Structure 1
Amino acid sequence: MAKKKKQSEHADKLAAEAAATPATKSPGKGAWRLMDKGSAIVAGLLAQRASVIAWRAVTGKKPPTSGRHPEVTTGEAVAWAVVGGAIIELVKVAVRRGTATYWVRSTGNLPPGMKPIVTVPKGNEKEPVLADPAPERASTKKKVSRRNRGR
């Protein structure tokens, strides 16, 4: 009888622990990788369209499709590369940061593999100390044989 009572107490403890722990598992590394890769693809597609729209808004022309084409001036090709590249990177950063922010808000933790940025509180900074150069001694110069030549 005592054995059954201990077993039922143990079962009750396990049931209480199971009820206290959340039923769903927090998303892990695989979920973050999927979200990160997906956001990179979406950002690439959005960035390409955004750069074309910005180029048309500024110049009123289609963006150059090839920088090697003789009808495209060098200045126009360079401007397209700079403007297009900058807009593409800005869109990618905005989308990927948004994804990471969403992850933090939904899970309460940083994405897997991302470490928190550590800041040094004011007053704890250590000032660099300049080391005194070692005094040179001519008399303690090490003799080197021809065979090893100082190796």
Structure 2
Amino acid sequence: MAKKKQSEHARKLAAEAAARPATKAHGKRTWKLMDKGAALVAGMLAQRASILAWRTVTGKKPPTSGQHPEVTTGEAVAWAVVGGAIIELVKVGMRRSTATYWVRSTGTLPPGMKPLAKAPGANEKEPVLADPAPERASTKKKISRRSRGR
């Protein structure tokens, strides 16, 4: 019974919010805070994930210093490649999920993010910006006074 009341109350609030005109744009600061927080958490998770992956594959601890004489060059390069790739993959996944959460909760793209539109006849995989740059009326190139003759 309580669950049914909650869902009815939630639907009522959602309908009221949809009926109200949006008077304030969603906060740019809030998005920046969420984005930076996601990047920090992803960095911490990625470090642990790369160490775990290295231990799983090699069976030993990852090299702590690529300069140490006991670490082979191949091992140091492999650690750099594996560690860097895992860190970037985790960061991209975390930041994308943060942006998806923003869109689901606010109904708009995060501040500063432009929508992608598909041009007619264009390849489906290739993103195209929605608003192309306006064409100039004249093709004559403007030259500033400082650059003339130089």
TM-score norm. by structure 1 comes to 0.65
Give the Cα separation in 1 of the matches to 2:109 and 2:70: 50
What is the letter of the counterpart of residue 81 of structure 1? A
Match of 2:103 in 1: 104
Structure 2 residues not aligned, in runs of 5+: 1-18, 123-148
Match of 2:38 in 1: 39
What is the letter of the counterpart of residue 86 of structure 1? A
**CA displacement at 1:117 relative to structure 2:** 1.2
Match of 1:70 in 2: 69
- The count of residues paired between Structure 1 and Structure 2 equals 106
**CA displacement at 1:84 relative to structure 2:** 0.4
Pairwise CA RMSD: 2.1
Aligned partners of 1:39 and 1:99 also within 8 Å: yes
Give runs of aligned pairs for residues 51-70 of structure 1, distance below 5 A. Answer: 51-70=50-69
Which structure's relative contact order is higher, taking Cα pairs within 8 Å and 6+ residues apart? Answer: 1
**CA displacement at 1:101 relative to structure 2:** 0.4
Give the Cα separation in 1 of the matches to 2:52 and 2:115: 37
Give the Cα separation in 1 of the matches to 2:119 and 2:22: 38
Structure-2 change in CA distance of 1:69 and 1:96 (3 Å): same
Match of 2:15 in 1: none
Structure 1 residues not aligned, in runs of 5+: 1-19, 124-149
Give runs of aligned pairs for residues 9-20 of structure 1, distance below 5 A. Answer: none
What is the letter of the counterpart of residue 37 of structure 2? G
Aligned partners of 1:39 and 1:96 also within 8 Å: yes
Tell me the alpha carbon deviations over residues 21-40 of structure 1, each in whole angstroms, 9 at most, x when there is no partner. Answer: 36995631011011001000
Between Structure 1 and Structure 2, whose CA radius of gyration is higher?
A: 1
Aligned partners of 1:40 and 1:92 also within 8 Å: yes
Tell me the alpha carbon deviations over residues 12-63 of structure 1, each in whole angstroms, 9 at most, x when there is no partner. Answer: xxxxxxxx53699563101101100100000000000000000000000000
What is the letter of the counterpart of residue 87 of structure 2? I
Aligned partners of 1:26 and 1:107 also within 8 Å: no
Matched, 1:48 2:71: no
Percent identity of equivalent pairs = 78
Give the Cα separation in 1 of the matches to 2:60 and 2:25: 49
**CA displacement at 1:119 relative to structure 2:** 1.5
Runs of 4+ residues over 6 Å off in structure 1: none
